Amino acid sequence: MSSTKILQVNGRSYPWMKQPVVVVCVDGCEQEYINQAIQAGVTPFLKKMVAQGTVLSGDCVVPSFTNPNNLSIVTGVPPSVHGICGNYFLDREANQEVMMNDAKYLRAGTILAAFSDAGAKVAVVTAKDKLRSLLGHKMRGICFSAEKADQATLEQNGIDNLLELVGMPLPSVYSAELSEFVFAAGVKLLETRRPDIMYLSTTDYIQHKFAPGTPGANAFYAMMDDYLTQLDELGAVIGLTADHGMNAKTDSAGKPNVIYLQDVLDAKIGSGKTRVILPITDPYVVHHGALGSYATVYLNEGADLESVSRQISAIPGIELVLTRTDAAARFELPADRIGDLVVVSERLTVIGTAATRHDLSELNLPLRSHGGISEQRVPLMFNRRLGAIPSDHRVRNFDVFYLAMNGAV
């Protein structure tokens, strides 16, 4: 492998790495989490990254959800290219909500797969299993989730005996330990297997619960800081970013500000005229009750696009309503997998379908969530000084591999 070898993936150039490259996607990492943790003095390594490395801000993909952004990060391109624009979309022919976590929905190859094809040692560790098959698509190497670490096999995951390797018990899917397992595994993998590229992707369980700078949040970042220190000491080039930000979605009493959009539209336009899909919906809803700041609306016969759009725009708390075409253009989404309208709510407000379809009793803390434009700004941090970035380049979270591999001196 020559040091000048360059791989082309989805139209972007990635030079062969000289040191191991570790990209960390910290789920729900609003920039303020890092700022406050540094202020509180609990993250000496992040502070060192500020002083000696590079700190950027970038835009994530809207909808600011986990899957579209993780896929953008590992493909280096927006959902218009890779196809994954949420957890769910409506299959119009079957008239069914379809989960998009199967690799058959992926329309672009990943940087990880390309490098593994070219002979690089690649490892992927994700917190929840829902992302594993998408991230590991066509990739040779190690790929497993913390959630199902106990079930990992050499055949399926390229590794086994994980609990022993990592030295932690299997974490609960709703825990800070689920993310800690990801970091701990990353350190052990770098120590024992030294992959050329590693992608570590956590879960936002903590960020949904705790505001930036509060004890629960700072404890998480202190934990993360310790593992980052180890990855750095092992010689890795580290690029850290987030899939999306996170904001409080409540009033001063902690009551969530929810627009039950299906209820509103049924009342205004008539039952059955529209179908509201919340692409945040996934099998793990305890921490957000399937409530985010983004929805897509499919219109049935008899519903007028312009009139529905106008009525949604008039609802207090709605930030933006776009037609399919405009949303696909502005947010770089696959037009065939979004509804006739895309709806984004304001920072403090989330969108639900029908009140009866959201069980808020499971929310034991005031709602914090994401999905909107208000969660688009995310950190990009590197433990190396990067070269200058052209001032007209809009930095994206999915530039992280590109910057880590091209820009690290």
List residues near a copy of itself by CB under 8 A. Answer: 31-36, 38-40, 50, 55-57, 211-214, 248, 250-255, 257, 316, 347-348, 365-366, 374, 377, 379, 381, 394
Contacts of 33 (CB under 8 A, 6+ apart): 207, 212, 213, 217, 221, 246
- The angle at the Cα of 191, spanning 119 to 5, to the nearest 5 degrees, equals 25
Q: Rounded to the nearest whole angstrom, what is the least distance from the CB of residue 53 to a copy of itself in the complex?
A: 10
CA 204/CA 238 separation, integer angstroms = 20
Q: Rounded to the nearest whole angstrom, what is the least distance from the CB of residue 56 to a copy of itself in the complex?
A: 8
Q: Rounded to the nearest whole angstrom, what is the least distance from the CB of residue 210 to a copy of itself in the complex?
A: 8
Q: Which is nearer to a copy of itself, 105 or 220 (CB)?
A: 220
Bridge partners (DSSP) of residue 82 are none
Q: Which is nearer to a copy of itself, 167 or 254 (CB)?
A: 254
212-219 long-range CB contacts below 8 Å, 24 or more apart?
212/30, 212/32, 212/33, 212/35, 212/36, 212/37, 213/32, 213/33, 213/36, 213/37, 213/39, 213/40, 217/33, 217/36, 217/37, 218/36, 218/37, 218/40, 218/42, 219/42, 219/176
Q: Which is nearer to a copy of itself, 211 or 237 (CB)?
A: 211
Q: How many CB atoms lie within 10 A of CB 409?
A: 8
Q: Rounded to the nearest whole angstrom, what is the least distance from the CB of residue 6 to a copy of itself in the complex?
A: 30
Q: Which is nearer to a copy of itself, 66 or 250 (CB)?
A: 250
Alpha-carbon dihedral sign for residues 43, 45, 51, 56? negative
Q: Rounded to the nearest whole angstrom, what is the least distance from the CB of residue 369 to a copy of itself in the complex?
A: 14
Q: Which is nearer to a copy of itself, 55 or 354 (CB)?
A: 55
Residue closest to 203 by CA, chosen among 112, 67, 403: 67
Q: Rounded to the nearest whole angstrom, what is the least distance from the CB of residue 257 to a copy of itself in the complex?
A: 7
Q: Which is nearer to a copy of itself, 57 or 96 (CB)?
A: 57
